[in-house]
Amino acid sequence: MVHLYKSKTRGIPLESTLLFYVKNKIKLSLSISFILLTVITFGQKSFTTTPVNDDYPKVVTTDSATALTVLPKYDLPTFDTKTIAGIHYDTSFVGQKLRKRGQKMTIFGYYRGFMYGRNMTEAYPNLAPYEKAYGFGDGYREPTLSLNVYGRPNGKSTFGTELFLLSPYLGGGAAENVLTMNLGINFYGNFRTKNGNFGVRAGGIHWYNLSSFTIGVFQILDRFSIFDRTPWEGVTHDEKYNAYHASGSTNAGDLRWNNQAFQGLIINGGRLPGDFNFDLFWGKTQPNAGLANGILNSFQSIPPTINAGSVPSYVGFAGDARFIPNFITGGKIGRTFGKKRQAISYNLIHSQTALDSARQFIQGEDDAVTFAVPQRNYQVHSLAYDLKVNKIRLAGELAYGSYESPTYKRDWGEALMLRAYFPKEITFLPIDVQLYQINKNFFNQNGEIATNSNPEILKDFGVAAGASGIGGQLALVNQLVHNRRGININAEIDLGELKFNLAWGLSQEIDPASTQLTFVHRINGLALSRIYNPFPANATMPTVFGPYQRKISFFRGVSEVVQTTDTSPFDGQALNRKYFNAVDLQAKYKTSIGDKPLYLFYLGSFGSAKSKVSLVPSMTDNSYLFVQYHELDAYYELFPKFLLTGFLGLENARGGQFTEWDQESQLPLDQLGTAIGIGFDWTVSKSTGIYFRHRWMNFEDRSFELDTYKGREVTIELKTFF
């Protein structure tokens, strides 16, 4: 968990340089905040800043973890959390602190000094002369200093914001520094009536989930290596590794990882007559552009000034202009019933993006001509449920969605998913079974379903910067992709300190669609994404790199596109449906050497795409692509508060006879990637830690001669909370 430690909010000398500077910077913002808060809270007779009902569904007046996906997880801990200013913290600090009366303002946060260096001894040709690079920060928009300001100006209203300070040390002087609000100013209101409890969230960025198929995120806990730290991790010593061993969660989970970023207005209600509840919202998600720090010119980065710095904006990646209407709206109405608090809800989203500010003559579906603003839009209607039948839990969603633009005629498609959780009392082992069918015309950029497999929609809509892949994706078990039907099964074996997770998935395309396949480079993807930034200045499309222009950089990862060749000689369209397999094998073991804890984690992942159905991933004559990953993590407490860390990784990807061949070798791709990592975690104090990582990486495609690199990277992170 992320632990924060209290700083004195009363009696702090205003002569302190940092707080004095920050105070001047936020003075105007706070004045505006108080005015808006007065308007928002006028007339409220009863108010609290904490959730007012303990039963599901909760009325959310902060961006809390209780709004996560409706799908349950077995053996996952329940975290009592509190969120302020969009950041997720442990209640042991924030929850108790903010319940104290009489606090007009609280300031807390963290400093993160992240030093990065690389030396690519063999690099892609277009990297020169930057094979060697040393800097402060890893190229992503993460703050050096995060100051979280939480205010309760009159006891009846609250607000929070996160001040973003970054010094990249690029040699450009003050113009390179950043001082701005990272998430805007967030407002929270919550009040009770005899007819129900109601909440309001408005202002800056809020982390929000509606349902899996509407506004949601594909959530997976322990199917990845935790050797590389994330920017939002805390100072936890071995709690991170112990929690990963026990439940798959490294901490309570930063909300940025589990929810969609939303800017706008959210109104929700619960404990209504008949046990009904509702959500209503209007605003923007990232695909709608216009998140915090947005710019008006879609082809212009944030100007290099002292107030913003030359850090690329995270908005408008599809190239949409900001001064034209571009928003998403929707909501839900739900009901809970029964002693087991079962739930069902109807959910709706409608995303609309104007393509011009002027009206035009547009031909509709029935050939009628209208004079209107051209726009593209997509919408989703769904029915989500969470039911319990005896000891079996049934959860899922039934949805219907469509996409439309002036050059693409609306066509509706279904998305159906049923997930059943069987406890070990019934099946000896806890088993999770998922069945699904998702039409290629179902489109939504805000849900957990990957909807980049329909080439016609992709051609019309385009691919935004930061997209992780296109075409037929070799997905993880339980990761859903449209134009597929399939089954996923998960099981867990718990032998005390030795735990096994087994997962298997099989799916097929509903229609032959894309002629491309995508897989992820898991072993060295993070290191590559730091070299080839997925969000460079002026970005409106994904960052594509490599000697053959097949690799795509996305947030903390890299994927690769593989072209299939069994296509129609007349129009180049796909001829055959593809069948996809996925298997995950994981082992987690905790022991001790010399009374000091030792953690060993192994993850093996296998995936393939074939022209014929097969039960397991493999490389055969029918295979388009076969990929396997092997990752081994080791963590040992050598001294008190000092842990040694280690990582071994191997990745192999092989193309089949019906994929693109190299012209010289006359062979399909045959890739081998390896990584060796060492480091340490040193918890200097209960709120400060130093983290060192050194990675040696090697990659070679034995068929495509130019696709090779070799090098190493070093990172040193100083993290302290106050």
Domain assignment present for residue 238? The answer is yes
For residue 129, whether the previous peptide bond is cis, meaning omega lies within 30 degrees of 0, is yes
Give the list of residues 6+ apart from residue 580 with CB closer than 8 angstroms, or none.
472, 474, 475, 484, 486, 505, 506, 507, 508, 607, 608, 609, 610
Using DSSP's 3-state secondary structure scheme, residue 606 falls into strand
CA-closest candidate to residue 645, choices 219, 238, 288, 265: 238
How do residues 396-430 score in pLDDT, each as one tens digit? 999 999 999 888 888 999 999 999 999 999 988 99
Six token digits for residue 141 = 């928009």
**Model confidence at 289, in pLDDT bands (50, 70, 90)?**
low
CA-closest candidate to residue 454, choices 541, 573, 324: 573
Kindly tell me the burial class for residue 179, based on how many C-beta atoms sit within 10 Å of its own C-beta (0-12, 13-18, 19 or more). buried
pLDDT for 188 beyond 70: yes
Distance CA 197, CA 556 (A): 40
What are phi and psi for residue 404, nearest 5 degrees? Answer: -150, 145
Instruction: Name 289's bridge partners.
Output: none
CA-closest candidate to residue 513, choices 439, 577, 441: 577
Q: What is the pLDDT of residue 465?
A: 65
Q: What is the pLDDT of residue 319?
A: 42
Q: What is the pLDDT of residue 45?
A: 32
**Model confidence at 508, in pLDDT bands (50, 70, 90)?**
very high
Domain assignment present for residue 372? The answer is yes
Distance of CA 196 to the CA centre of its chain: 33
**Model confidence at 312, in pLDDT bands (50, 70, 90)?**
very low
Least confident range of 105-109, 539-543, 611-615: 539-543
CB 149 within 8 A of CB 163: yes
Q: What is the pLDDT of residue 260?
A: 84
**Residue-wise DSSP of 294-352:** --SSTT-PPP-STTT-SPPPSS-TT---TTS-EEEEEEEEEEEETTTTEEEEEEEEEEE
Using only C-alpha atoms, what is the Rg of the chain?
26
Give the list of residues 6+ apart from residue 256 with CB closer than 8 angstroms, or none.
86, 207, 232
The average pLDDT across 122-138 equals 86
Q: What is the pLDDT of residue 223?
A: 81
For residue 57, whether the previous peptide bond is cis, meaning omega lies within 30 degrees of 0, is yes
Distance CA 494, CA 260 (A): 33
How do residues 24-65 score in pLDDT, each as one tens digit? 433 333 333 333 333 323 333 332 222 222 332 333 334 433
The structure's pTM equals 0.80
The average pLDDT across 677-694 equals 95
Using DSSP's 3-state secondary structure scheme, residue 39 falls into helix
The average pLDDT across 431-449 equals 94
Six token digits for residue 176 = 């390179």
Q: H-helix or E-strand containing 158?
A: strand 158-166
Q: What is the pLDDT of residue 102?
A: 56
Domain assignment present for residue 10? The answer is no
Q: Report the share of the chain in percent with pLDDT over 90.
A: 44
Sheet strands (E) in 167-259: 178-193, 196-208
The average pLDDT across 564-582 equals 91
Domain assignment present for residue 341? The answer is yes
CA-closest candidate to residue 345, choices 189, 193, 215, 487: 215
Domain containing residue 446: 17-721
pLDDT for 345 beyond 90: yes
pLDDT for 113 beyond 60: yes
Domain assignment present for residue 3? The answer is no
The average pLDDT across 642-664 equals 96
The average pLDDT across 518-523 equals 95
Distance CA 346, CA 197 (A): 20
Domain assignment present for residue 8? The answer is no
Q: What is the pLDDT of residue 101?
A: 55
The average pLDDT across 220-229 equals 82
The average pLDDT across 580-586 equals 95
Least confident range of 176-185, 288-297, 322-331, 366-375: 288-297
Domain assignment present for residue 188? The answer is yes
CB 252 within 8 A of CB 243: no
The average pLDDT across 358-378 equals 68
Six token digits for residue 559 = 């994927």
Q: H-helix or E-strand containing 559?
A: strand 557-563
Domain assignment present for residue 1? The answer is no
Q: What is the pLDDT of residue 370?
A: 66
Q: What is the pLDDT of residue 95?
A: 45
Q: What is the pLDDT of residue 455?
A: 87
More confident residue, 170 or 598: 598
Q: How many domains does the chain have?
A: 1
Distance CA 379, CA 388 (A): 30
Six token digits for residue 138 = 């890893």
Six token digits for residue 676 = 């060796």
The average pLDDT across 489-511 equals 94
Q: What is the pLDDT of residue 267?
A: 93
pLDDT for 294 beyond 80: no
The average pLDDT across 560-584 equals 91
Distance CA 229, CA 94 (A): 23
**Model confidence at 201, in pLDDT bands (50, 70, 90)?**
confident
What are phi and psi for residue 174, nearest 5 degrees? Answer: -65, -25
The average pLDDT across 118-129 equals 90
**Model confidence at 145, in pLDDT bands (50, 70, 90)?**
confident
Length of the chain: 722
Write down the H helix ranges in 94-181: 94-98
96 C-beta neighbours (distance < 10 Å), count:
11
Distance CA 711, CA 695 (A): 8
- Dihedral over alpha carbons 289, 293, 297, 298 (to 10 degrees): -40
The average pLDDT across 651-664 equals 95
